[in-house]
Structure 1
Amino acid sequence: MSSTEVYQGDDLIHSPRTNKEKPAELWWSIIKKTLFIVGSSALIFAALSNTLTYHLQRFWGASGNFWQHQWENILLTFGDDSFNLFVYGSFCVGYIVYWGIGSFYTYMDISGKPEFLRRYKIQPGTNEPVERNQLIKLIAIAHFNQILSIPVAAVCYYIFKYRGFNNSYKLPTFHWVIFELAIFIIVEEICFYYSHRLLHHRYLYKRYHKLHHEWQSPIAVTAVYSHPVEHIFSNLLPIFAGPMIMGSHIATFWLWVSLAIFSTLNAHSGYHLPFFPSPEAHDFHHLKFNQCYGVLGVLDLLHGTDEKFRNTKAFSRHIMMLSLIPPREAFPDHSDLKSKDLNAGLFTTEVIQPLEKE
């Protein structure tokens, strides 16, 4: 697939690349973006992990290393049955994390409460509240796909076992876990971008991917609202691939699954909440279909599949908000605001015309 081909629904569209950067400058931009995303993610995780571990140890009074103690309890529950540990243990972890976080978002979508969070909606006025029959269908398909993950995990178990399945009593070191997570992020970006973009081929889109795009304004639990073929090859395998390549410890795999689920729920949530990773790019993908196929945006930058996105206000908002000001207020859509005198200088908003729906 060439970098100038963009698949949208049933049609194949050829769009000339408009990125003006020279190849060397483009690659440097890609390297910087990758290092920033992976490095900042590792730093944040390290800080949170150390703090969380300290407080949990004090709260629970666990002797020695808290996580090691909990892991040993899990192994005592499952015994020496590595198959059940991997297949059913992974299912339970994924299910609990998905619906634990997803239920909070779904409550907001149904009730509109807490009301102050509606200010953080990316597409205001949509799914307020979410339509009941749509939600029932969504929950049914999501559960089917989650059950489908059990036989997929069973197959992957033997690949893990061949690669060197690790379910030992001793957990990997913290620094090794951070290194593996960085590898997983890169592998997921590659696998998801190309599998996702392939699903936008006119033949595959109408058969396998159109279902997921029924939601032009997605909600969190639409993350696995998809055809089973798409769910296996574009949702599950990109997550499984990194740990299979690395021969990771099962506890590291569970941690990765939890982080990946949080990421995809946030990306589909329709809310750009403060201190959360920005979901603007994937929300824009649901709105415009042929932009922003990846997770990190690195391969979108390389292939030029984020050009239209970069010319919208949504791109200006595509940052982690470190204040409580909603992104739509910090970066307004329209330029009907007159020049305002703010402190010592003048502030003007740029005129950016919204894209016409293709």
Structure 2
Amino acid sequence: MECATMREESCCAGPSRLPADDKPQEVKVGITQNRAELMSQWADTVKKVVFIVGGAIIVFAAACNSLTWHLESFWGASGDFWNRQWMKIYNLFGGNLFMLGVVGTELITFTFYWLFNAFFLFVDVTGRPAFILKYKIQEDQNTPVPWPKLKKALQTVLFNQVFVNIPFALVLYFLMQWRGCNISADLPTFKWVLVEMGVFLIFEEIGFYYFHRLLHHPRMYRHFHKKHHEWTAPIGVTAIYAHPLEHILANMLPPIIGPILMGSHVSVLWVWFMMVEGSAIVAHCGYHLPLLPSPEAHDFHHLKFTNCFGTLGFLDRLHGTDNLFRESKNYSRHILLLGIVPLSQTIPDDLKGKRKALESKKTD
């Protein structure tokens, strides 16, 4: 009887009454494996973040240095080429700080947005050149883009650029004045610009991720963010297709955090804004093209809604909001394409999964 009672007590005691060293070997192995997997995931995320941030800074530096060298070698430009170009812009606005800070910023961002989007719009509307279509991420979507839907997107984007961007540029100008940002004829050194760009990237990621998560709260999503997610397969021009409040919170506030903190020169602000716009357009374009940053993560966000809220990915890894993405083929394709063969061919989708998706569409 005593033995039976002792067995019952030991059986009912549960694992909490066992010393840590008495855990079953399988549990220990499982914990070790989970830790190893987590460390591996974090290492992979850090590598990608370093690659993206470092790569962007290196490419920016190389492009500027290369362009300067060619201009000096073949066109007889002097060593102060960038200073002389800035002085032309500065004199064009008569040295008026208000005109440079407000009108100049609006003209730069407006013009760059439509020039960069022109190529993607042409492909989306005409389907030409045909070879570009093989790089589509969601192959059966927007071929071609329905005109009523595109017209609505164009109207919303233009509204945001005129009635939201201009007032915001005014507010930004006074913020720059208050912070002591430089709008003078003197440019900062190129090395300092690279340092600032690194800071901008970090603060933009933090601001965008948390504002974006906020917009996915049910109360916010229903009234504000749902508009942007009308496009489950986005196109380039929809980068700022959004409710005005979302446009301010997610598209405009995050990029200005870094420049305001750093007290940056207005010319650096312009370059940074063009980089942010270019990144947003590529992320929404729907094509994974050679030598362009991978849009797989944000395209997946539009498809599934619950994953990939950031741009660089390290906050998604920290908060576990990329788990579904990491289990998909899209994650395997989330790399810089250096060849001409589409990643959808080198890393194809699971055929069984495709059949199930097609069958579910037929039943719907």
1:193-212 paired onto structure 2 within 5 Å: 193-212=209-228
- Which of the pair has more CA radius of gyration? 2
Q: Which residue matches 1:249?
A: 265
1:83-137 deviation digits (Å, cap 9, x = unpaired): 1111111111101110001011000000001100100000012111101111111
Ranked by relative contact order (alpha carbons within 8 Å, sequence separation 6 or more), the top structure is 1
**Structure 1, unpaired ranges of 5+:** 1-18, 337-349
Match of 1:262 in 2: 278
Kept in 1, the 8 Å contact 2:296–2:330? The answer is yes
Counterpart among 40, 52, 68 of residue 53 in structure 1: 68
Counterpart pick for 2:144 among 126, 129, 136: 129
| 1:21 Cα offset (Å) | 4.2
Unaligned runs of 5+ in 2: 1-32
Secondary structure at the counterpart of residue 106 of structure 2: helix
| Alpha-carbon distance in structure 1 between the residues aligned to 2:228 and 2:80 | 43
1:32 deviation in Å?
Answer: 4.1
Letter in 2 for 1:96: T
Deviation at 1:56, TM superposition (A): 3.2
The residue aligned with 1:331 is 347
Residues 91/312 of structure 1: CA separation in 2 closer, same or farther (3 Å cut): same
Normalising by structure 1, report the TM-score.
Answer: 0.86
Write the distance in 1 (CA, Å) between the matches of 2:44 and 2:207. 21
> Structure 2 length normalisation: TM-score?
0.84
**Percent identity over paired residues:** 48
Cα distance in 2 for residues equivalent to 1:21 and 1:216: 35
**Residue 36, structure 1, aligned to residue 56, structure 2:** no
Question: What letter corresponds to residue 203 of structure 1 in structure 2?
Answer: R
Structure 2 equivalent of residue 109 of structure 1: 124
Deviations 1:143-173 (A, max 9, x none): 1111111111111211111111202222111
Report the counterpart of residue 255 of structure 2 in structure 1.
239
2:113 to 98, 108, 127: 98
Please name the residue that 1:302 is paired with. Answer: 318
> RMSD over aligned Cα, in angstroms?
2.3
Structure 1 position 30, deviation (Å): 5.0
Q: Is the 8 A contact 2:45 2:313 kept in 1?
A: no
Instruction: Answer yes or no: is 1:225 the counterpart of 2:241.
Output: yes
Distance in structure 1 (CA, Å) of the matches to 2:347 and 2:41: 27
The alignment of Structure 1 onto Structure 2 pairs a total of residues equal to: 326
For 2:79, give the aligned amino acid: G
Q: Going by fraction, where is helix more abundant, 1 or 2?
A: 2
The answer to whether the 8 A contact 1:284-1:292 is kept is yes
Task: Please say if residues 42 and 317 of structure 2, whose CA atoms lie closer than 8 Å, have aligned partners that are also in contact.
Answer: no
**For residues 149-228 of structure 1, what are the structure 2 equivalents within 5 Å?**
149-228=165-244
- Using a 3 Å threshold, how does the CA distance of structure 1 residues 254 and 60 change in structure 2: closer, same or farther? farther
Shift of 1:34: 3.1
Aligned mates of 2:34, 2:202 — CA distance in 1: 25
CA contact under 8 A between 1:220 and 1:266: conserved in structure 2?
yes
Q: How many Å separate the matches in 2 of 1:216 and 1:268?
A: 10
User: Is the aligned partner of 1:89 residue 2:104?
Assistant: yes
Contact kept, 8 Å, 1:195 with 1:233, in 2: the verdict is yes
Q: 1:86 to 1:20 in 2, by over 3 A?
A: farther
> Helix, strand or coil for the counterpart of 2:224?
helix
Structure 1 Cα separation of the partners of residues 314 and 35 of structure 2: 15
Please tell me whether residue 279 in structure 1 is matched to residue 295 in structure 2: yes
- The residue correspondences of 1:5-16 to structure 2 (distance < 5 A) are none
Alpha-carbon distance between aligned partners in 1 of 2:42 and 2:287, rounded to the nearest angstrom:
31
Checking the alignment, whether the CA contact within 8 Å between 2:297 and 2:325 is kept in structure 1 is yes
CA distance in 2, matches of 1:24, 1:318: 20
Deviation at 1:181, TM superposition (A): 0.5
Deviations for 1:51-97, whole angstroms, at most 9, x for unmatched residues? 12222344554333221111000010112321111111111110111
**Which range is displaced more, 276-285 or 71-80?**
71-80
Match of residue 4 from structure 2: none
Distance of 1:34 and 1:333 partners within structure 2: 25
Give distance in 2, aligned partners of 1:326 and 1:31: 26
Q: Which amino acid aligns with 1:228?
A: P
Query: 8 Å contact 1:30–1:302 — kept in the other structure?
Result: no
